[in-house]
C-alpha cells in the first residue's frame, strides 16, 4: 500500500483528493507530538491549579456553569460522546468519513486542543485499517461544530457504535478487536475536542468542490463538442474580448475552449457562413463558465484554509499556558463556500441543458429535428432533453442558500448557527444532477457530430467522441434510451474524459 504524508496545517487540495479517492496509508509529518504534549501539559496544570475550564470540568452549552467534580471528568467526556450521538438519516459515504477522520486528526495534531497524542494515533489507526464509523448524515446545524456526526464518529474510538469494514456493518468493538486496535478511555477535554469542529461540513464541502471542478472540466469538453455540432462561431472565444473585460477566470475558460477547438475541419467548413451571432448558450460559455470557475476557485481557497484550521473549543495555547473560549466551531465560512459552489454546479448544468435544447431545435442547430432521422416515426432526443430540464430545474431549488437560515439551539445559548452541513451535503445530489445533464449533452453533441461527417473535429474532440462511441452507438432509430444515458454518465465521470480537458483549471488536480 502506498503512503501519503500530511503536514498538519499545510494539507493541499490534491492531497484531499487523494484521501477521498484512494486508500493510501495516511501518516503525519514527524514532530507533531511536541505541540500536542505542550497543550496537554497546559490543561493538566490549569486543572491542578483549580481553574474552571469550559467542557473540561464544566457542563456543556447552557450547562456550562455546572462544575464537574475531579473524579467525574473522564465520565463527563464519555457521556458527551454518547449523548451527542443523536444523528439520523442515511450514513455518510465511507470516503467522506475517511476524510473527516483525517481532517480531525490533522486538526488535533496542531497542538491547540489539549488532548493526548494517542487520540490522533487511534484516529489514524482506524483510517489505515479501513474502519469507517457509521455516521448518520443528518443532525448538524454547523455550530457548535458538527456535534452529532462527530459524536457518531468518535464512538468508534471508544469501541462503541457501528462501523463499516469492506462494505460490511459491524459493531465497533468487534472491528477494533479484529484489527488489533485498543479502544481509548477519554481523558479531560478529549470528548469535547473530538466533537467540536467543522470537519464533517468541511469534508462534504471539499467533496463537492472536487466534483464541481470535474463537472466544469467536463462541461468545457461537452460545450465545445456542441459548438462543433451546431457549427458555432469561434469569434466569441477570441482572447481580446475577454481581456477587455478583465476577469481572469473568464479569460482562462476562453483559452481552454480555444485549445480544445483548435484545428477542426468542421470549423473551416463554415468560416464564411452568414450567421452573425450564436445563441447565448454557445456564445457566452466563457462568461458563464468563467463565473463558475471564479466561485470554485474562491471556495477552494476558503475550504483549504478550513481544512487546515483548528475549529474546536476551547483552544489551549501551551506556550502561554492559556485556555481560551471562542467560536471557531461556527462553520459560516464553510456554509458560504458551499452555497457558492451550489450556484456554480447549478449553472454548469443549466447552461448545458440550454445547449441540448438548442441542438434538438433544427431551426437553430441546422441538424435533423430531435437529432434523429425519420422524425415522427422516431422521437429521438425529445424526452432526453426533458430529463435534462428536470435535473437542471431540481438544482435551481437545491441552490437556494442554506447559510441564510438559522434556528437557535441549546436553549438559546447557541442562538445563531450556520447550516453548513446541509449546505455542503446537498452538493452531492446537485453534482449528480449536473453530471446527468452533461451526459445527455455528450450524447446529443456526439450525435450532431455524426451528422456532420465526413468532416472531422479537433483532435481532442475526436478523442472525446470516440470515448463515448466505445460505449454508446449512433442513435439511428428509437431504442431504450436510459442505458445510453447511464453509460454516458460513466464516461463523464471517467478519468479518461477528464484527461482530455486543458490543465490549470482545477486546483484539486494540480
Tens-place pLDDT, residues 373-392:
999 999 999 999 999 999 99
- As a whole number of angstroms, the distance between CA 2 and CA 25 comes to 6
Question: Grid coordinates 430545474 are at which residue?
Answer: 393
In 3D space, the residue among 315, 324, 328 whose CA is nearest the CA of residue 145 turns out to be 328
Q: What is the pLDDT of residues 225-262, one digit of tens each?
A: 999 999 999 999 999 999 999 999 999 999 999 999 99
Strand (E) or helix (H) holding 131: strand 131-133
Which pLDDT belongs to residue 408? 84
- Using the predicted structure, report yes or no on whether residue 464 has a pLDDT greater than 90: yes
Phi, psi of 317 (to 5 degrees): -105, 100
Which pLDDT belongs to residue 271? 81
Cβ-based burial of 494 (10 A; exposed 0-12, middle 13-18, buried ≥19): middle
In 3D space, the residue among 317, 366, 299 whose CA is nearest the CA of residue 46 turns out to be 317
Q: What is the pLDDT of residues 336-368, one digit of tens each?
A: 999 999 999 999 999 999 999 999 999 999 999
Which pLDDT belongs to residue 148? 97
Confidence of residue 406 (pLDDT cuts 50, 70, 90): confident
The residues annotated as belonging to the active site are 54
Q: What is the pLDDT of residues 91-141, one digit of tens each?
A: 999 999 999 999 999 999 999 999 999 999 999 999 999 999 999 999 999
Confidence of residue 434 (pLDDT cuts 50, 70, 90): very high
Provide the 3-class DSSP secondary structure of residue 253. helix
Contact of 194 with 104, CB cutoff 8 Å: yes
Average pLDDT over residues 7-29: 97
Average pLDDT over residues 55-73: 86
Contact of 108 with 120, CB cutoff 8 Å: yes
Query: What separation, in Å, do the N-terminal and C-terminal C-alpha atoms of the chain show?
Result: 23
Q: Which of 350-354, 392-396, 417-421 has the lowest mean pLDDT?
A: 417-421
In the numeric block, which cell numbers belong to residue 86? 443523536
Amino acid at each position: 500500500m502506498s503512503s501519503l504524508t500530511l503536514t498538519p496545517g499545510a494539507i493541499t487540495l490534491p492531497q484531499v483528493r487523494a484521501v477521498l479517492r484512494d486508500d493510501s496509508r495516511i501518516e503525519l509529518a514527524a514532530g507533531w507530538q511536541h505541540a500536542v504534549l505542550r497543550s496537554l501539559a497546559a490543561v493538566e496544570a490549569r486543572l491542578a491549579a483549580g481553574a474552571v475550564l469550559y467542557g473540561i470540568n464544566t457542563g456543556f452549552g447552557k450547562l456550562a456553569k455546572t462544575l464537574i467534580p475531579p473524579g467525574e471528568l473522564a465520565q463527563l467526556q464519555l457521556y458527551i460522546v454518547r449523548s451527542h450521538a443523536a444523528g439520523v438519516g442515511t450514513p455518510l459515504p465511507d470516503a467522506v468519513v475517511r476524510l473527516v477522520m483525517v481532517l480531525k486528526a490533522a486538526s488535533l495534531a496542531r497542538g491547540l486542543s489539549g488532548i493526548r497524542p494517542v487520540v490522533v494515533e487511534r484516529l489514524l489507526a482506524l483510517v489505515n485499517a479501513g474502519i469507517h464509523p457509521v455516521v448518520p448524515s443528518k443532525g448538524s446545524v454547523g455550530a457548535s461544530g458538527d456535534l452529532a456526526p462527530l459524536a457518531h464518529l468518535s464512538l468508534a474510538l471508544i469501541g462503541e457504535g457501528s462501523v463499516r469494514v469492506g462494505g460490511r456493518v459491524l459493531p465497533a468493538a468487534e472491528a477494533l478487536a479484529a484489527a488489533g486496535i485498543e479502544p481509548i478511555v477519554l481523558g479531560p477535554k478529549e470528548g469535547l475536542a473530538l466533537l467540536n469542529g467543522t470537519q464533517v461540513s468541511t469534508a462534504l464541502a471539499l467533496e463537492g468542490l472536487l466534483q464541481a471542478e470535474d463537472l466544469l472540466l467536463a462541461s468545457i469538453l461537452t460545450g465545445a463538442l456542441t459548438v462543433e455540432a451546431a457549427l458555432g462561431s469561434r469569434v466569441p472565444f477570441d482572447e481580446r474580448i475577454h481581456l477587455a473585460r478583465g476577469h481572469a477566470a473568464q479569460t482562462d475558460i476562453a483559452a481552454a475552449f480555444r485549445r480544445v477547438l483548435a484545428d477542426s475541419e468542421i470549423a473551416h467548413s463554415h468560416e464564411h457562413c452568414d450567421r452573425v451571432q450564436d445563441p447565448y448558450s454557445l456564445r457566452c460559455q466563457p462568461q458563464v463558465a468563467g463565473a463558475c470557475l471564479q466561485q470554485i476557485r474562491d471556495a477552494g481557497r476558503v475550504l483549504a484554509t478550513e481544512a487546515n484550521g483548528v475549529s474546536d473549543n476551547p483552544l489551549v495555547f501551551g506556550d502561554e499556558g492559556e485556555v481560551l473560549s471562542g467560536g471557531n466551531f461556527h462553520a459560516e465560512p464553510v456554509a458560504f463556500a458551499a452555497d457558492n459552489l451550489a450556484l456554480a454546479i447549478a449553472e454548469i448544468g443549466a447552461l448545458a441543458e440550454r445547449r441540448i435544447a438548442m441542438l434538438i431545435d433544427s431551426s437553430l442547430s441546422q441538424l435533423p429535428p430531435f437529432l434523429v432521422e425519420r422524425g415522427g416515426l422516431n422521437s429521438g432526443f425529445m424526452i432526453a432533453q426533458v430529463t435534462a430540464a428536470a435535473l437542471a430545474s431540481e438544482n435551481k431549488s437545491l441552490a437556494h442558500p442554506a447559510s441564510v437560515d438559522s434556528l437557535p439551539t441549546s436553549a438559546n445559548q447557541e442562538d445563531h448557527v450556520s447550516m453548513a452541513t446541509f449546505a455542503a451535503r446537498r452538493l452531492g445530489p446537485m453534482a449528480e444532477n449536473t453530471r446527468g445533464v452533461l451526459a445527455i449533452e455528450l450524447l446529443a453533441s456526439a450525435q450532431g457530430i455524426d451528422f456532420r461527417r465526413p468532416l472531422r473535429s479537433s483532435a481532442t474532440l475526436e478523442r472525446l467522441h470516440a470515448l463515448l462511441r466505445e460505449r454508446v452507438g449512433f442513435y439511428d432509430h428509437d431504442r431504450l434510451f436510459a442505458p445510453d444515458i447511464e453509460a454516458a454518465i460513466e464516461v463523464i465521470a471517467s478519468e479518461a474524459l477528464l484527461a482530455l480537458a486543458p490543465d490549470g483549471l482545477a486546483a484539486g488536480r494540480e
